[in-house]
Structure 1
Amino acid sequence: MNSVTVHFAVRVSWWVKPYLIAASLYVRAVSPFLDVDDDRLDGFVEQQAEFVRRNGIRVICDGKRI
């Protein structure tokens, strides 16, 4: 039986947690003024998640960023 060893790491930048806290506060501040069926808030959350994924999280496998 063969085995493969892989070194896998996920690194989260230092600014991600404060950024998400600020985005959460913004959502809580504006949500009372939006209608229930308003999609702008969902779009905002998706944009922020994509930004954090692109710039704040690094996945490294065997020394190469993936």
Structure 2
Amino acid sequence: MSEIVIYGKSTCPHTKRALAAHPEARFVDILASEKNLEEMLRLSGGQRRIPVVVEDGKACVGFRRGS
């Protein structure tokens, strides 16, 4: 099973939904450090939308129910 990483903010309702859908995911708070934000922006192609869900090296920007 591959690791799932979710970049977002703990106060964001979309991030909360993504984490609820993927309880095994590792959470990276983009407000915790500039490095976390820069990594999220690199993975998202510069998009400032959260969450960014990374699975199998592929990043998906945003989260929709059932995604």
TM-score normalised according to structure 1 size: 0.25
Which structure's relative contact order is higher, taking Cα pairs within 8 Å and 6+ residues apart?
A: 1
Structure richer in strand, relative to its length: 2
- The structure having more radius of gyration, on CA atoms, is 1
Alignment TM-score, normalising by the size of structure 2: 0.24
